[in-house]
Amino acid sequence: MNTVRLEYSGGTILVKADGPVSLPYVKWDRRVGAYRIPGYLYRDLVRFLRAWGIPFEDSVFSPPPREGVHGSVSLYPFQCEALDSWLKAGCRGIIAIAAAGGKTFIGLKAIELLGEPTLILVPTLVLMDHWIEKVRSLLGVEAGAYGGSSREVKWITVSTYDSAYINAERLGNKFRLLIADEAHHIFAPSYSQIAEVMAAPFRMGLTCTPFRSDMRHLEAPRLIGDVIYEATHDDLAGKYVSSYVHKKIYVSLRPEEEAEYERHWSAYRRYLEEMGLDGLEGLREVVRRSTRDPEAREALLSRVKALRIAFNSEAKMRVLSELLRESDEKTIIFTLHNSLAYEISRRFLIPAITHQTPDEERRLILSKFRSGEYKVIVTSQVLNEGVDVPDASRGIILSGTGSHREYVQRLGRLLRKSAGDKVARLIEVVSRETSEVYFSRRRRRRPALSAPPGDRHASEGFPQG
Amino acid sequence: MLPRDFLRVRVRGGFVRPAYAHPDGPASALAEEILKIYRISVGRKRAEIRSRVLDLEEAYGDYKLVRGLAELVERKCLFEGRPAVNPASARLMLFSEAARCGIPVTPEERVRVIERVASMLGVSPSSLEDSLYADLECEERLIQPPPEFPGEQLVKEYNLSLTQTLLFDSVNIVFTASGNWKRIFRSIKFYGLIYEAWRASTGFAVKVDGPLSIFRMTRRYGTSLAKVLPEIIRGAPWHLSAEVMRGEGETLRFTLDSESDGHLLPESPETPEEYDSEVERRFAEAFRAVAPEWAVRREAEPIPAGPGVIIPDFILEKAGRKVAVEIVGFWTPEYLRRKVEKLASARDMPIIVAVDEKLACSDVERVWSQNPSLHIIYYKGRVKIPDVLKALKEVVGEEQAERRTEEAKGRPASKSAIKAVFEEAAKALMEEVGERGPLLRAADVLKRFNLTIDALPQCGYKIVWKTLMLEDAEVRKEIDS
């Protein structure tokens, strides 16, 4: 019989044969004179070939040099249950567990059991460091770092979604197990291409919020597998994760800030009214128009200025002073903008972590925070997801975007089960009587999902708006 | 290439086009203004300079243009942080000290911490504060302004960048070019793209996209396609057409042409003739001296070969007759075998292959015997011109002889001979009738080749009937695809 040959080629698999073959999934590519399938269909094609006893030569994979994994990961019962359902589902699918449910451990156990070359996708560099550290301590292997300024490919490699997206074709045939941490990211139009060009037959998604407002999570069966295990915060609270208290502090703007805010906000409202626009739809329309219509752009700028006053109010800085004075417990301060993070850093002489912080320095700050040498750090959006910052018992949100996911995940960091019995506190500092109050409410409301910030390809350089 | 946010486009009737700035319009004055700001701002912080640039926005009313131009200027400048204290160690010391003695919440407490650390480092408190975040991009200072060049040039570079930014969202491009082929194909390959090539009425056409493109429309290759663009526009005259994705599923057409749009873009310096080896250079010089009636053109045009193309080292041309010359001077027997096989698959142009004697092996002989259309000559040290001329005579002679003998014997002509007749007829039609013209005139031309109007499709023409009258009918050159 006609032998079929499978070769990897730029995120796809070329299917070559000496004579005509009849196979599912494949498409004839006259540009190169061979059949082709996208990488993610590798598993299905191989299954078909095996099922029908069609002989084939497979030279798709060229994994990095093998390294021995010496695992000793032990799991809680619910984590075992989650891993079992994944194994039963044919080593594919999404495990949805509330923040601080130990998702990392489930992933590590899967690597230990399968012994396959593995690529782990993470949204941030901080999370990349976190995984590398866990792979080292629990699997006894030095993982490759593929993100930020480094490009190491090893038997186990941890990459940011961004770097993997840019180099997807290069990574596509090196790993047989793909673990997507904070897996809701993989459904973004750009990042889903990583899942499409990877040939990895085994895929695991880890997330606490598998659903997206843009409904792209419906792509899961094709890209990574369905949700095969779910445990909400309520399922786990008290048992595996600590509980927390949530507190809001309302502050009023100072009179001159109030006047500024009022001036800008009413300028924006005026434009909306003149144009007969309203609400979120109205805002979108203004954004659309702003590229052509100078007045729309002016209105948009007014809105930004008003919000900036509300978010970055001097009154909030005073509240922050009070909070820092009243307790020296381990605290993370969250801001929306880098500029506020740096302002707080200068004013209170505390370290800031933003996406501009050099890799080395970021690691140093976090290790000093872990050891307790630094008690307080300030960050803008960088620590938002799944980072293990042990026993931080207090979080202070100084401004937010009003996204549900962000809210859940910020909580997640504080909910780590700590050594002591101290209850974690989350403090939101909100301006009274501004639209930010509305945002803050929106943040708690469950279904109001928006695409996470990582999905956007933020451009550096000149500030927008 | 610019950040996507800076892209400005106009959409009309299924077509999209960047809002180009005209080099002879007010944009050049704006470009001069921006260049001036950077030139007089040596020593200032990046953020300061940017805020001065933003002042221009109001005057020119087009913030995307202002920022786009400024972005390009910044890339020509050198910025550097020159803090009194290394910023990273300034931060480490200050934050550690503050953590050690309690976070300062009053201005007085804060000053005390800064003074203490400054005296440890032996610097003034204010220079310590200045150093704290001096390594942030916005805090860097301009140390080298942009080089002297006209605003007009900046505007042209801006237009090129804008085009590339538009192509970020392209799903494929189709282009024709007139030179620089080796570099074009090299960059297509380098960026992991795939091409299809064919001869079109306007020249040699190439469609470029990527491996996944046969499955669905994807922007995946947009950035790579954008990177190939500068190579294409080095080979003027050129023409380019791209499908650009808008939202999910919908596409717009973007076209660009050297003749109508070339003035918007930077002039590309003519690429000097590059030779891969000394053997090639000496061949070109010697051949030009000995046989001036033949034009020697280096990497002049690709030839379709198998599913891809080959770009022969030289094309020799005399009176519309083209013969390719490929010089093979290195590599392994395996490489040579594949090379000759690929050359043998070349369609529509005879090839003379000059092979270094040291590499002669049975493989070559075998391929040669199977592909008599290949003309292989051997050389030692340098390619001997008389050998080439002899091979040329064979190539040209063979074809004519073939045709004559077949006509004389009244036998059915071979395929290649028939093809040659059609080609000659097509050429005559082009010269005498043009892209379109009266059917009757075309029929006259064909009569000279003993052909009837039934042969029009083979000559690349179709008939357009306007009425039922023969006199009113036209022929039209078909656009190859």
3-state secondary structure labels for all residues of chain A: CCCEEEEEECCEEEEEECCCCCCCCCEEECCCCEEEEEHHHHHHHHHHHHHCCCCEEEECCCCCCCCCCCCCCCCCHHHHHHHHHHHHCCCEEEEEECCCCCHHHHHHHHHHHHCCCEEEEECCHHHHHHHHHHHHHHHCCCCEEEECCEECCCCEEEEEHHHHHHCHHHHCCCCCEEEEECHHHHHCCCCHHHHHHCCCCEEEEEECCCCCCCCHHHHHHHHCCCEEEEECHHHHECCCECCEEEEEEEECCCHHHHHHHHHHHHHHHHHHHHHCCCHHHHHHHHHHHCCCCHHHHHHHHHHHHHHHHHHCCHHHHHHHHHHHHHCCCCEEEEECCHHHHHHHHHHHCCCEECCCCCHHHHHHHHHHHHHCCCCEEEEECCCCCCCCCCCCCEEEECCCCCCHHHHHHHHHHHCCCCCCCCCEEEEEEEECCCHHHHHHHHHHCCCCCCCCHHHCCCCCCCCCC
Instruction: Return the residue matching tokens 């911490």.
Output: B113
Evaluate whether A197 touches A220 at the Cβ level (below 8 Å).
no
- Best residue of A349, A353, A369, A464 to probe chain B, by most B CBs closer than 10 Å: A349
Distance from CA of B50 to the nearest CA of A (A): 8
CA distance to B4, B357, B415, per residue, from B461 (Å):
44, 46, 20
Cβ–Cβ contact B477 with A under 8 A: no
Chain B residues close to A189, C-beta within 8 Å: 248
φ/ψ of residue A191, rounded to 5: -70, -25
Percentage with pLDDT > 90 across chain B: 35
The two beta strands, B9-12 and B15-18, are: antiparallel
* B69 neighbourhood in chain A, CB within 8 Å: none
Any CB–CB contact under 8 A between B64 and chain A? yes
Q: How confident is the model at residue B350 (pLDDT cuts 50, 70, 90)?
A: confident
Q: Which of A321, A348, A346, A343 is nearest to B129 (CA)?
A: A346
> Which 414-433 residues of chain A touch chain B by CB within 8 A?
none
For A312, the token pair is: 């970055």
Backbone phi and psi for residue B144, each to the nearest 5 degrees, phi listed first = -140, 115
Taking the Cβ of residue A319 and every Cβ of chain B, the question of whether any pair is shorter than 8 Å is answered with: no
| Inter-chain contacts counted by CB atoms under 8 A, chains A and B | 108
pLDDT computed for residue A318 by the predictor: 85
Q: What is the mean pLDDT of residues B159-179?
A: 94
For residue B105, give the nearest of A31, A321, A356 by CB distance. Answer: A321
Query: What residues are paired with B351 via a beta bridge?
Result: B324
Distance CA(A253)–CA(A311), nearest Å, equals 10
Residues of chain A with pLDDT under 50: 400-405, 408, 417-419, 437, 440-441, 443-465
Residue B194 CA to residue A37 CA, distance in Å, equals: 15
pLDDT at site B282: 87
- The encoded tokens of residue B81 equal 């942080």
The answer to whether B406 and B420 are in contact (CB under 8 A) is no
Measure the CA–CA gap between B139 and B124, rounded to whole angstroms: 19
Query: Are A35 and A15 in contact, with CB atoms under 8 Å apart?
Result: yes
pLDDT of residue B70 exceeding 60: yes
CATH code, A77-231: 3.40.50.300
Residue B212 reports pLDDT greater than 90: yes
Task: For residues A366 and A362, give the distance between their C-alpha atoms in angstroms, rounded to a whole number.
Answer: 6
Helix axes B26-39, B46-60, angle to 10 degrees: 160
Distance of CA A418 to the CA centre of its chain: 23
CB hemisphere CA count around B407 (13 angstroms): 11
Nearest CA in chain A to B94: A349
Q: At residue B75, what is the residue type? A: R
Count CB-CB contacts under 10 A for residue B240.
20
Pairing type for strands B141-144 and B78-80 reads antiparallel
Q: What integer pLDDT is reported at residue B365 of this predicted model? A: 65
Say if residues B343 and B305 touch (Cβ distance below 8 Å): yes
The predicted complex's ipTM stands at 0.72
Q: How many CB atoms lie within 10 A of CB A73?
A: 19
Q: Say how far apart CA A435 and CA A446 lie, in whole Å.
A: 19
| Average pLDDT score over residue span B216-224 | 92
- DSSP H or E segment with residue B11: strand B9-12
Confidence of residue B150 (pLDDT cuts 50, 70, 90): very high
Beta-strand pair A150-151/A118-122? unpaired
Which pTM was predicted?
0.73
- Is B263 in the A-facing interface, judged by CB distances under 8 Å? no
Paired tokens of B118: 């400054």
Name the token pair of A101. Answer: 């449910």
Do the chains contact at A348 and B132, CB–CB below 8 Å? no
Closest CA relative to residue B185, chosen from B231, B241, B221, B227:
B231
Is A36's CB within 8 Å of B211's CB? yes
Closest Cα in chain A, distance from residue B460 (Å): 23
E-strand ranges in B120-193 read: 141-144, 170-176
- Whether A459 sits inside 8 A of B4 (CB atoms) is yes
A12: nearest CB among B103, B104, B211: B211
pLDDT digits (tens, 9 = 90+) for B372-425: 667 888 888 888 888 888 888 887 776 655 555 555 454 445 667 777 788 888
Task: Give me B40's structure tokens.
Answer: 């007089």
pLDDT digits (tens, 9 = 90+) for A16-34: 988 777 888 899 998 888 8
- Which of A15, A31, A196 has the highest number of chain B CBs within 10 A, making it the mutation to test binding with B? A31
Residue B479 DSSP class: P
Give B67's contacts in chain A (Cβ within 8 Å). 461-462
Task: Report how far Cα A276 is from the mean position of its chain's Cα atoms.
Answer: 38
Min Cα separation B3/chain A (Å): 6
pLDDT given at position A451:
33
Chain B, residues 295-334, CB within 8 A of chain A, namely 306-307
User: Are A396 and A336 spatial neighbours (Cβ–Cβ below 8 Å)?
Assistant: no
Output the pLDDT for position A404: 46
Strand order in the sheet with B170-176: B9-12, B15-18, B250-257, B239-246, B170-176, B203-209, B194-200
How far apart (Å, rounded) are the C-alpha atoms in residues A356 and A180?
A: 24
Give per-residue pLDDT as tens, B417-468.
777 788 888 888 888 888 888 888 888 888 888 777 777 888 888 888 776 6
Beta carbons of A38 and B215 less than 8 Å apart = yes
Say if the Cβ atoms of B105 and A350 lie within 8 Å: no
Give residue B18's pLDDT band: very low, low, confident or very high (50, 70, 90): very high
| Distance between CA atoms of residues A181 and A163, nearest Å | 15
**pLDDT (mean) for B22-27:** 88
- Quote the pLDDT of residue A419: 44
- Residue A187 token pair: 């459904």
Rounded Cα distance between A190 and A204, Å, is 19
Topology of domain A4-59, CATH: MutS, DNA mismatch repair protein, domain I (3.40.1170)
Task: State how far the Cα of A62 lies from the Cα of A170, in Å rounded to an integer.
Answer: 11
Looking at the complex, does the CB of residue B256 fall below 8 Å from at least one CB of chain A?
A: no
Pairing of strands B239-246, B203-209: unpaired
Higher pLDDT, B102 or A64: A64
Instruction: Enumerate the CATH 3.40.50.300 domain ranges in chain A, comma separated.
Output: 77-231, 243-252+313-461
- Using the beta-carbon criterion (under 8 Å), do A197 and B212 form an inter-chain contact? yes
**Rounded distance, CA B476 to CA B478, Å?**
6
DSSP string across B96-110: HHHHHT----SHHHH
Q: How far apart are CA B460 and CA B465, in angstroms?
A: 17
CB within 8 Å of chain A, chain B residues 70-129? 70-71, 74, 88, 91-92, 94-99, 102-106, 110, 113-114, 129
CA distances from A55 to A7, A33, A236 (A): 15, 21, 49
In this structure, of A263-277, A315-329, B66-80, B320-334, the range with the lowest mean pLDDT score is B320-334
pLDDT mean over B188-213: 88
Distance between A26 CA and the closest CA of chain B, angstroms: 10
Delimit the CATH 3.40.1170.30 region(s) of chain A.
Answer: 4-59
Give the one of A169, A358, A464 whose C-beta lies nearest to B192's C-beta: A169
Give the pLDDT score at A403.
40
**Is cis: bond before B237, omega within 30 of 0?**
yes
Interface touch A291/B50, C-beta < 8 Å: no
Within an 8 Å CB–CB cutoff, is residue A356 touching chain B?
A: yes
Mean pLDDT computed over B73-92: 90
Q: Do B215 and A373 touch (CB under 8 A)?
A: no
CB contact under 8 A, A462 and B71: yes
Average pLDDT, chain B: 84
Nearest to A226 by CA among A84, A122, A90: A90
> Whole-angstrom Cα distance, residue A151 to residue A33?
34
For B337-392, give the DSSP string.
HHHHHHHHTB-SS-EEEEEEGGG--HHHHHHHHH-TT-EEEEEBSB--HHHHHHHH
Q: Which CATH number fits domain A243-252+313-461: 3.40.228.10, 3.30.70.920, 3.30.830.10, 3.40.50.300?
A: 3.40.50.300
Longest alpha-carbon distance in chain A: 86
Task: Give the single-character DSSP code of B179.
Answer: S
Name which of A164-173, B188-197, B361-370 the model is least confident about: B361-370
Task: Look at A197-201, A261-265, B198-202, B226-230 and tell me which has the smallest mean pLDDT.
Answer: B198-202
Question: For residue B95, which residues of chain A lie inside 8 Å, CB to CB?
Answer: 349-351, 374
Q: Within an 8 Å CB–CB cutoff, is residue A372 touching chain B?
A: no
B198 in A contact zone (CB under 8 Å): no
As given in the structure block, the two tokens for residue A443 are: 């943040």
Q: Touching check for A38 and chain B: CB below 8 Å?
A: yes
Helical (H) or strand (E) element with B153: helix B151-167
